[in-house]
Copies of this chain bind each other. A is one copy, B any other.
Amino acid sequence: MARTSAFLLLSALLSVFAPVDALWPQPRDITTGSSALKLSGGFDITIAGSVHNAPLDLHQAVERANAQLRSDKLERLVVGRGDADKGALSKAKTLSKLTLSLEKGATAHTITSEAQKPIEARDEAYVLDVPADGSGATLTANSTLGLFRGLVTFGQLWYQSGSTTYSIEAPIHIKDSPAYPYRGYMLDTARNYFPVSDIKRAIDAMSWVKINQFHWHIVDSQSFPLEVPGFLELSQKGAYASSMVYTAKDVQDVVSYAGARGIDVLVEIDTPGHTSVISKSHPEHIACAEATPWATFANEPPAGQLRLTSNETTQFTADLLVAVSKLFPSTMFSTGGDEINANCYDQDPETQKALNATGQTFLQALDSFTQVSHAALKKAGKTPVVWEEMVLSFNVTLAPETITLVWISSADVQAVAQKGFKLIHAASDYFYLDCGGGGWVGANPDGNSWCDPFKTWQKSYSFDPVANLTADQAKLVLGGQHLLWTEQSSPSNLDPISWPRAASSAELFWTGPGQNISTVLPRLHDLSFRLQQRGIHTIPLQPLWCALRPGACDLTA
């Protein structure tokens, strides 16, 4: 029996079918059968001879995929676990190989270079065929990046019972490609520091749900953990400790680890706000540095913003951004631009003097300041990314290719689109992982987090990326991401606060919106347990009793 990829039909079947496949994100076009199929003991993934000069990162991806097939040990989430499948397995055929090949005429570049292409130029499509008759499985794509996505899918097809690795849904045919080109995850490493090993674990998790963009909010007012060639004083004076610095070598390590896993790294140096820490080494560039009471000068402590009226500060900023941009091969670079506090500049004598001297307003100065930075970045080959205020509040002159991150509210998406800018969904009311965990400013006994309540996976999963947009405006939506601001996070809770929740946006922006949320939980359980097998400390979304009985804990059950 074959079933189609039509989602309503799929949903209907899932409620009858005890078996659920463990794919996440759900491929956009899939047909499956109902035959059991086992991997042979010597099962191997190989790259076809027709792929000339297969790159090292593809070979390594194949090696990891081969190893995971042996180490995942994911049992089926049903009562009795794998026992339920013993009968079917006794008659199962055996699969002994998967062969990867590129479409005719395609050239084998590294996964890394394919992943680091401009966001809309990346080709992540693939076709995966797993016959039920024991003949070899095939994975084809136009790019090594597509092959990598297909490998991740292949790795999710299998359950284990005893020493048998198997599927009960062969034959499987998948033709897949993402609905949106940008599927991200943002981590703030400035409020609290995360060692490289934790970032790599986060990248692993991202890659296993086909996230293709790591948005690294690497520095902020609280600390400057990035070693920038030519600006070593920033981290020397501004990191929390010398052991809490990302060296240029660390950055290269993270970037290449991500690249080999199909992920581009979008770095953010937030300007002109969120820069207090620069005052530690360059007091001349920062207005209202650590001014008190902080709440009148900034949205969070410590206060401090770049003196955007100063030519020296403007040049310093442009030079810094360009120096940082050289560490990151991505074609995008975020200059931030959120939460600029006007009072900070109102109270800064130097800024006021400059404004008076030139007759400029604060907004005119911000416009000039930003244009210098963006021009320098453009010269360095980068497309600027900004937070929504730059478009909606400050009306800064921005190049038409500028990409906007909508964070304050999903209600602001329409206004950004109306201005004609490409945009990334990152709204706090759907995608902030830190909401609902209690306020963190001190002497605030009754404070809950500003963006209460907690954003459940169901909430982000049910987001509509094109709500209130015209068809033309909808084309401006590049995708979206979950975000973790780390005022109350550290390696201690990085995994449980993120996973499997952040996988909900990964599927939303890969598979597309409109899935039936009531039926996806069993697949999300499978993903969560598989991530655990691979070292990600995901939380359980339900008691195991429920996870073993798809649907039994539904409100209507």
Given A492-B538, A492-B539, A553-B294, are A222 and B545 also a contact pair (CB < 8 Å)?
Answer: yes
Question: A149 near B: Cβ within 8 Å?
Answer: no
Q: How far is the CB of A201 from chain B (nearest CB, A)?
A: 13
**CA gap between A190 and B488 in the complex, in Å:** 29
Given A222-B544, A496-B492, are A552 and B301 also a contact pair (CB < 8 Å)?
Answer: yes
Question: A493 near B: Cβ within 8 Å?
Answer: yes
Point out the residues of chain B lying under 8 angstroms from A359, CB to CB: none
Given A222-B543, A456-B448, are A441 and B554 also a contact pair (CB < 8 Å)?
Answer: yes
Give the contact stretch, choosing among A129-137, A372-380, A382-390, A432-440.
A432-440
A contact residues, total (Cβ < 8 Å): 71
Residue of B nearest to A548 (CB): B240
Give per-residue flags for A277-301: 1 if the beta carbon is below 8 A from chain B beta carbons, else 0.
0000000000000001111000011
Given A436-B453, A538-B492, A555-B443, are A191 and B301 also a contact pair (CB < 8 Å)?
Answer: no
Question: A394 near B: Cβ within 8 Å?
Answer: no
Point out the residues of chain B lying under 8 angstroms from A545, CB to CB: 191, 221-223, 240, 301-302
**CA gap between A233 and B532 in the complex, in Å:** 30
Chain A interface SS verdict (over half): loop
Choice from B452, B518, B540 contacting A192 with Cβ under 8 Å: B540
Check A440 against B557 for contact (C-beta < 8 Å).
Answer: no
Check B490 against A552 for contact (C-beta < 8 Å).
Answer: no
Question: A51 near B: Cβ within 8 Å?
Answer: no
Question: A49 near B: Cβ within 8 Å?
Answer: no
Question: A43 near B: Cβ within 8 Å?
Answer: no
Q: How far is the CB of A223 from chain B (nearest CB, A)?
A: 6
Residue of B nearest to A290 (CB): B552
A514-557 CB contacts (< 8 Å) to partner B? 517-518, 521, 532, 537-546, 548, 551-557
A479-510 CB contacts (< 8 Å) to partner B? 486-493, 495-497
Point out the residues of chain B lying under 8 angstroms from A222, CB to CB: 543-546
**CA gap between A495 and B446 in the complex, in Å:** 23
**CA gap between A240 and B542 in the complex, in Å:** 14
**CA gap between A301 and B443 in the complex, in Å:** 41
**CA gap between A540 and B189 in the complex, in Å:** 13
Check B490 against A539 for contact (C-beta < 8 Å).
Answer: yes
Question: A356 near B: Cβ within 8 Å?
Answer: no
Question: A193 near B: Cβ within 8 Å?
Answer: yes
Check B442 against A301 for contact (C-beta < 8 Å).
Answer: no
- The oligomer's copy count stands at 2
Check A518 against B438 for contact (C-beta < 8 Å).
Answer: no
Check B448 against A454 for contact (C-beta < 8 Å).
Answer: yes
Identify the interface centre among A292, A449, A456, A543: most chain B CB within 10 Å of its CB. Answer: A543
Point out the residues of chain B lying under 8 angstroms from A31, CB to CB: none
Check A293 against B557 for contact (C-beta < 8 Å).
Answer: yes
Question: A457 near B: Cβ within 8 Å?
Answer: yes
**CA gap between A542 and B300 in the complex, in Å:** 11
**CA gap between A537 and B490 in the complex, in Å:** 9
Check A546 against B489 for contact (C-beta < 8 Å).
Answer: no
Choice from B294, B295, B537, B548 contacting A492 with Cβ under 8 Å: B537
Check A462 against B489 for contact (C-beta < 8 Å).
Answer: no
Point out the residues of chain B lying under 8 angstroms from A551, CB to CB: 442-443
Question: A41 near B: Cβ within 8 Å?
Answer: no
Residue of B nearest to A448 (CB): B453
Residue of B nearest to A75 (CB): B241
Choice from B294, B439, B458 contacting A445 with Cβ under 8 Å: B458
Check A532 against B492 for contact (C-beta < 8 Å).
Answer: yes
Point out the residues of chain B lying under 8 angstroms from A541, CB to CB: 440, 488
Identify the interface centre among A447, A493, A532, A552: most chain B CB within 10 Å of its CB. Answer: A493
Residue of B nearest to A492 (CB): B537
Point out the residues of chain B lying under 8 angstroms from A459, CB to CB: 445-446
**CA gap between A539 and B439 in the complex, in Å:** 13
Q: How far is the CB of A198 from chain B (nearest CB, A)?
A: 12
Given A490-B539, A537-B492, A552-B302, are A458 and B453 also a contact pair (CB < 8 Å)?
Answer: no
Check B488 against A443 for contact (C-beta < 8 Å).
Answer: no
Check A444 against B192 for contact (C-beta < 8 Å).
Answer: no
Q: How far is the CB of A65 from chain B (nearest CB, A)?
A: 25
Check B462 against A456 for contact (C-beta < 8 Å).
Answer: no
Return the 7 tightest CB-CB contacts between A and B, nearest first: A438-B456, A493-B496, A443-B554, A222-B545, A492-B537, A442-B554, A191-B543
Q: A441-B553, A443-B521 are in contact. List 7 more A-B contacts (CB 8 A).
A: A436-B437, A440-B542, A441-B554, A442-B542, A443-B518, A446-B458, A486-B543
Q: State the A residues within 8 Å of B (CB).
A: 190-193, 221-223, 240, 292-295, 300-302, 436-449, 452-454, 456-459, 461-462, 486-493, 495-497, 517-518, 521, 532, 537-546, 548, 551-557
10 A–B contacts from the bound complex (CB under 8 Å): A193-B544, A301-B546, A302-B545, A436-B436, A441-B542, A452-B454, A490-B539, A492-B496, A492-B537, A492-B540
